[in-house]
Amino acid sequence: MADTPTFTKVVLYTADDGRARFREEPIALTEGKPQARLSALMPSGGCQLRMSPVGFRSEFHVTETPQWVFILGGQMEIFLQDGSSRLFKPGEHFFSADVLPKGATFDARLHGHWSRQVGDQPLVTLFVRG
């Protein structure tokens, strides 16, 4: 249906060249009522909360288990190998699925992403396993 509302799923994934990239995918909101549209129920494997202090910065890494990342407080910036980055603020999200390609050995010059806390507030995130 052309008039079906959608939710935009931001996906961090591994492209065919082994590098992390971002893409956006629509999720149809086909359930619920007109006042509160819902997606179909999605399975999950548990959730975790994380707080990263001001100044947090990771090294390049890949996602071990695909998961939703919801920003609850502070800001998180994700950097890719090509030098691009994307900033996520409270209420924003992404689906982290940039896993190591099958048979590959991790190479920090090729694979994954790194992240950092931005601003003067700690970064608070909710991870929901996909």
Asked if the model's pLDDT at residue 116 lies above 50, the reply is: yes
pLDDT at 3: 84
Is 57 inside any structural domain?
A: yes
Q: Quote the domain boundaries for residue 47.
A: 6-129
pLDDT at 1: 45
Is 1 inside any structural domain?
A: no
Residues with Cβ within 8 Å of 75's Cβ and at least 6 positions away in sequence, in order, are 87, 88, 89, 90, 117, 118, 119, 121, 123
Q: Residue 48: beta bridge partners?
A: 127
Asked if the model's pLDDT at residue 10 lies above 90, the reply is: yes
Find the Cα–Cα–Cα–Cα dihedral 39, 73, 90, 118, rounded to 10°. Answer: -130
On whether the CB atoms of residues 106 and 98 are closer than 8 A, the answer is: no
pLDDT at 52: 98
pLDDT band, very low/low/confident/very high, at 2 (cuts 50, 70, 90): low
14: CATH = 2.60.120.10
pLDDT digits (tens, 9 = 90+) for 13-41: 999 999 999 999 999 999 999 999 999 99
- What domain count does the chain have? 1
